Amino acid sequence: MLVVFFALLLSFSSYMVARLYIQGQEEQAAFDQLTDSVISQNDTFTSEYENSDGMQTTSKYTEYLSIYKKNNDFVCWINIDGTLVNYPVMYTPDDPQYYLRRAFDKSDSQSGTPFVGEGGNINSDCFIIYGHNMDNDSMFGTLDRYKEAAFYKKASTFTITTLTERRTYEVFAAIETYVSDEEGLYPYKYSGNIDLKDYDDLTNWLLDHALYDTGVFPSYGEQIVLLSTCSYHTKNGRFVVAARRIS
């Protein structure tokens, strides 16, 4: 009887693993279709669109205008060469974690969609983008490649493109932390506009806890973005890539 029980348990576990895998693949396929729907443009040109406030705004990068028209929670697109990170980023200030378990079309999703965290926005002195660390490497599942200095040397910069500009960010620190106490939560409390002291406190903390020395030192006035995902190096672990805007 015990043998039958364990056989059934194994079968059920295998079924659940397969189900989650298939679900993850289907969710990634939906993002692939979204990416394919973007019309690539080598040159910038202008086009008017109506923003969430009902105002007419000019866009330079109309390849992302089509994404915005599908869902006006879309705020930017992040792309990191050498990883699978190539996704829309969502912004819902009244409910920052709305896309934690929702797809771009707002349907239920284990993978969720990368989103801007509480307290900041894409124009703040510092803002945070969260994404799940998925087993199939989707979302921020390949962000942890930055744990190796050798990878950083090949991909020290990445792009974030809004409806109106293409930005370049330079990585200056990659850290492993945790969210079990105040010390581990330290970098997350600086999302938003910060003064010189807080800026220096944040950047010094990140540099002191970095896995390796990048030789990059942000200066006050340079915008900071933190890319955050789960990490399994410890209980409640997080992996954070910190970057400064350089263009």
Q: Which residues are catalytic?
A: 132, 230
Amino acid at 142: T
* Backbone region of residue 69 per phi and psi (left: phi > 0; alpha: psi in -120 to 50; beta: other values): alpha
CB contact at 8 A, 134 and 205? no
CB contact at 8 A, 27 and 138? yes
Torsion of CA 214, 166, 99, 194, to 10 degrees: 60
Query: Count of alpha carbons within 13 Å of 79, Cβ hemisphere only?
Result: 9
CB contact at 8 A, 120 and 126? yes
Q: How far is the C-alpha of 232 from the C-alpha of 107, rounded, in Å?
A: 27
